[in-house]
Structure 1
C-alpha cells in the first residue's frame, strides 16, 4: 500500500468533508460573515386573550420605532449590560439594547438592538399574563400602574392592575447585572367567587433570523423539554404548523428564539409542569409560549408564580453559570456546539484563558497552535518513523508485487507478513491528519458560534477574527468600490496559506507517480481559494500550523535522512546495494 497515496487521499477527503466547494459550503458550512445585528419583520401581534386568537396588524399600521416608543407610558431599564424600557401598556418588555455590543466595528456604531415594540419594524418582545374562567385578565391594551421609576439590578419594579371584580394583578420584575429577568406574577382574589386561572409567558417575534440555519449552526426556535435539547425546530416548520403550532409538555425546561449570537428564552420554574410550544400567528410572525398549571383561587386568597426571561448575548461562561447556579436545564446548549462539543468547549476554554493572559485572541490562536502541535509531536515522530520504514521496505514490496501480481489474496498476506516482520504501519502516515481533523473542525465551530470571538482584532488590518480577511486582491485592497464574490475574495491570509502549504509540500518526498505529483502541486492553490471566505482566525491557525510543520519536517529529516530521497531513487539505491 502506497503510504504517500493514502496521505494525499486523506488531505483531499478532509478538504471535501470540512469545506467542500462554494455551492455546498453555504448550506453545510456557512462561512464567516459580518455579525448579524437585526431581525427581519414588520407586523404587529397581540397577546392571547380568552376567546381571541393572536393577530397581526396590517403593514400600513407600522410606525417608526421612536414614534411607537413615545405613544405609551414606560419604565426605564438600566443595568451594566442593558438599556431600554418596559411598556406599561400590556406590561411588556419590548425595548432593549445591549450596551456592550455594537452593530459594526465603526466607532459611532449604535449598540445591538434586541427587542422592539409591537407596531414598529422588526417587532420583538416578551409579555406575561393570566388567562382563565371567571377572571377578567389584563390584555395587551391594559395600562398598568408602576411602583418605581427605573428597573435596575438593585431596584425591581412592581406593575399593578385591578379589575372591576376585585381581582388584583401584580407583576414584579427584577433583573440581574447581566441578561436575566425574574418575573413574579401574583393574582389576589378579593371578589365573592372563586376564579380559575393559569399564568403564561410569551416571546413574540416578527420575521426570521438573518443568520443562516444549517446542520452545523442552528438558528430560530429552540428549547429544552424534559432535559432534551430540541434543534429540529425551524421557522419553516412553524409556518407549516400555523396557529395550531408545535406543543411540548415538559417539567421545567426553557424555550425561545436563538440567533447566532443572541437569545431570548422563557424559563419556567424547573419543578413546575408547563405546556410549552411555538406557533405562527401570521406569515413570518412567530411566538414562543409557555403556560403553567391552572390554579383555583378562592375569595380572599391569592396565588403567585415565578419564571425567568433571558434576553441577551450567548456568552459561554454566563450560560454555564445560569445552568449551574439557577438550575436552568442545559442552558449551555443554547450555543449550537454540535457533535464535537466535548472537544470544542475545552478548545474554547484554552483560548479564553490564554486570551485573558495575553489580551489578544489572534495571539491566543497562535499559542493554541503551538500547544496542539506540541501535543502531536510524538505522533509526528511516529509518522516519520513509519514513512522511513516504508521507504526502507519498498524494494521488498516491489518484489512481492512482481512475484504475486496474479494473486491478490496471496499478495495481501505476504505484505501483511512483511509489515509485521519489519515493524512498519502503512496507515501511520495518515494519523496526524486524522487527529487534526476534529481539532480543526472544533476551532471552526468555536470561531463561528462563540460571541467572545466576535469583533476581536488581531493586528493591522485584521479587526475581526470571526470574519473573513477584509483585504482582497481583486478590489486592490479596498481601493476599488466593489466586493468580490466569496469564492474570489482572495486576501492576504489566503495567499499566505497557499504559500505555506506549497513550502510544506516542497519539503515532502517527491511522489513516484506523475499523477500524485500533479495533485500535490495543485493542492495548495486549490485550498487557498477554498479557504479564502472563512474566518480570519481559522486561517491564522492553519498558516501557523503549516510553518510549524515546515520547521518540524526540517528537524525530522535530519533524524531520518532516507526521507529526503525520492521514492524511486531510494528503491534504486537499495537495490544496487543488494
Structure 2
C-alpha cells in the first residue's frame, strides 16, 4: 500500500514537472511581439551627450516604419560583397540594411536570405552608425550625406561626406572585406579659423523582440570582450533594469549576439573608448563606443578608424579575425569551459559532413566515433565494478565485524582493497571523464551554424524541433500542435531507448527508485521534444550505442549482472515482507 501511494506521488510530481516546464518556457522565453519604436528610444550617444550638454529634453514620436518603403528610398548606397548585400542610408549615415547571402531565412528553396540589419522603427530593427560630436553637438540624423564611390564592395570603398558648417567637413570612408567586416575611417577636416573639439563614436542598436533565447548553454544578448576577457554576464533584462551597463576593462569589441548572428563594433587598435550597453525602452537597446574627445586645430585633419562585424558566427571566420589581431573574437561563440573538446569535435563533424553529404548521417557517425573512443574507459569502468562486486561478501563481513568501530572498519577496508588490488574510485573516474566529452559534443551540435537548415530523412531543419509529431499524425495533418504536446518521432525514440537502457541495467534499486526510473524516460521525452532535432538524433544514437555497449560488457562480466540481480531480488523480498507486516 505504501508503495502504491509513493507511485501516485511520483506520477503526480512528474506531471507537475511537465506542466511547470511549459509554463517556465512561456514565462522566461516569451514569443517576440512587434513593438513600435520612438525616436526618443533610438537616439544616438551623440544625441545623449548633446542633451546633457545643453540641458534640453530631446526626442519626439517616430512612427513605425515599413521595411520595404524604407529600403526603397533612392538615398542609399548599395553594398555587394561575396557574403553580404544591403545598403547604407545617406540620411543620417546609418548602415541599416544587411542580408547574408549564404544563409536563407527558411529551409524553403525560394527563401529570401537572412536579414540581420533593418532600419530604425521597423519591427526587426538593427542598425549601426558612425560619426562625430562637434563641440558637444550632434549632427542631425535628418542630414543627408553625399556619397562618392558607387557600390561598396571588396576593393571599392565608398566615402560619405557631410558639410558641418563653419568650414568643418566630416568624411566616413567605408570599405568591406570578403567576409563580414566593414571598416570605417572617420575623418574630420577643420577649415575654420578656430579649433574644434571632436569626439568619434560608433553604435549598434537593435530590438530584443527578434532575439534568440538566452539559454544556459549559449549566450544571446549584449556581448563584448573587455580587457581581453569575453563577458557573457549581461542579458537584455539586466541592461533594462540598470538602464546603462559599462563593463570594466578596455573594450576589444562590443555588440549584440544571437545564437547564429553577431553585430559587433571593433575600436581602433590601441584606443580605449568608453563602451556601454543602454536600454532605450520598449525592448530597444544599444551598444555604444565613444572615443575620448580630441582638439583639432584650425587647418588640420584628424582620423580614427573603427570596424563593424555584421554577419554569421562561423567559427573559422571568427578565429581568422582573432588571429589577425581582434582579441578573443573567436569566443563570440559561447563555447564555455570545454572548448578544447568542442572545436576538434566541430572540425571532425564538418569534415565528416563534407564526405557523406548529409548532416544527420554526419551526426550519427561522429557519435559512433566518440563512443568508440570512449569505449575503453567504459570497459575499465565495468571491470572495476565487477571487481568490487567480487569482493562484496568480504566487505560485508568486515562491516559486520567492525560495525562498532568505524575507524577500524575503514582501515580494514583499505587493507582489503590493497590486497585485492581494487580501487573503489576506479568505477567513478571513467564516468567523470566522459561527462565533459559528451557535454562538449552536445554543445557543438547546439552552437554549430553548419547544422542550420540541414535535412535528414523527414526533417527539413536539424536545428529546429522535429516537425513530425504524434498529434498531427507525424506530419500528415496540416497543423502544428502546441509545444507542450509536440512529441515527435525522435522524442518517442529518445524515451523508448532511454527506458530500455534503464531496464537493461540491473542495478539493485528499491521499488520507489525503480518507479522513478521507469517514469523518468517519458518525462524526459516531453521535456526534450522541443529541442533541435539534431540534438535528439545525437541522444537517440548515443542511447542505442549505450544499449549495445551494456549488452556486450555484461556478457563479458556475468558476475556483475548476477550480483546485481541477486541484490535486486533481496531488496524486493525485503520490501514485500515490510508491506506484509
Q: Normalization by structure 1: what TM-score? A: 0.85
Residues 334-359 of structure 1: CA deviation (Å, up to 9, x unaligned): 22222333332232222223223323
C-alpha contact (below 8 Å) 1:42/1:207 kept by paired residues:
no
> Do the aligned partners of residues 160 and 240 (structure 1) sit closer, same or farther apart at CA in structure 2, a change above 3 Å counting?
same
Residues of 1 paired with 2:224 and 2:315: CA distance?
17
Aligned to 1:52: 51
> Do the aligned partners of residues 209 and 420 (structure 1) sit closer, same or farther apart at CA in structure 2, a change above 3 Å counting?
farther
Aligned to 1:422: 420
Structure 2 counterpart of 1:451, from 434, 449, 452: 449
Residues of 1 paired with 2:273 and 2:94: CA distance?
21
Q: Does 1:168 align with 2:169?
A: yes
Cα RMSD after superposing both structures: 3.3
Aligned to 1:237: 238
Residues of 2 paired with 1:280 and 1:159: CA distance?
29
Give the superposition deviation at 1:427: 4.1
Q: Does 1:76 align with 2:74?
A: no
- Superposition pairs of residues 515-526 of structure 1, within 5 angstroms: 515=512, 517-526=514-523
Aligned to 1:4: none
C-alpha contact (below 8 Å) 1:509/1:566 kept by paired residues:
no
Q: Secondary structure at the match of 2:495?
A: helix
Structure 2 counterpart of 1:332, from 308, 327, 330: 330
Aligned to 1:540: 537
Give the superposition deviation at 1:479: 3.5
Moved more, 427-436 or 86-95: 427-436
- Superposition pairs of residues 242-321 of structure 1, within 5 angstroms: 242=243, 245-247=244-246, 251-321=250-320
C-alpha contact (below 8 Å) 2:227/2:250 kept by paired residues:
yes
- Superposition pairs of residues 99-114 of structure 1, within 5 angstroms: 99-114=101-116
Give the superposition deviation at 1:197: 0.8
Structure 2 counterpart of 1:442, from 440, 443, 449: 440
Q: Does 1:125 align with 2:127?
A: yes
Q: Secondary structure at the match of 1:443?
A: helix
> Do the aligned partners of residues 390 and 488 (structure 1) sit closer, same or farther apart at CA in structure 2, a change above 3 Å counting?
farther
Q: Secondary structure at the match of 2:51?
A: coil
Residues of 1 paired with 2:408 and 2:141: CA distance?
82
Residues 311-367 of structure 1: CA deviation (Å, up to 9, x unaligned): 111111111111111x11111222222233333223222222322332322222222
Aligned to 1:477: 474
Residues of 2 paired with 1:122 and 1:51: CA distance?
28
Query: Structure 1: which 5+ runs fail to align?
Result: 1-15, 573-578
Q: Secondary structure at the match of 1:130?
A: strand
C-alpha contact (below 8 Å) 1:239/1:283 kept by paired residues:
no
Q: Secondary structure at the match of 1:174?
A: strand
Aligned length: 546
Q: Does 1:93 align with 2:95?
A: yes
Give the superposition deviation at 1:28: 9.9
Give the superposition deviation at 1:85: 0.9
Give the superposition deviation at 1:252: 4.9
Residues of 2 paired with 1:255 and 1:398: CA distance?
62
> Do the aligned partners of residues 560 and 214 (structure 1) sit closer, same or farther apart at CA in structure 2, a change above 3 Å counting?
closer
Q: Does 1:364 align with 2:384?
A: no
Aligned to 2:199: 198
Give the superposition deviation at 1:63: 2.7
Residues of 2 paired with 1:230 and 1:377: CA distance?
37
Give the superposition deviation at 1:208: 4.3
> Do the aligned partners of residues 393 and 522 (structure 1) sit closer, same or farther apart at CA in structure 2, a change above 3 Å counting?
farther
Residues of 2 paired with 1:200 and 1:462: CA distance?
46
Structure 1 counterpart of 2:558, from 539, 551, 561: 561
Residues 383-416 of structure 1: CA deviation (Å, up to 9, x unaligned): 2222222332223233334434455554444333
Moved more, 342-351 or 40-49: 40-49
Give the superposition deviation at 1:522: 4.1
- Superposition pairs of residues 493-532 of structure 1, within 5 angstroms: 493-509=490-506, 511=508, 513-515=510-512, 517-532=514-529
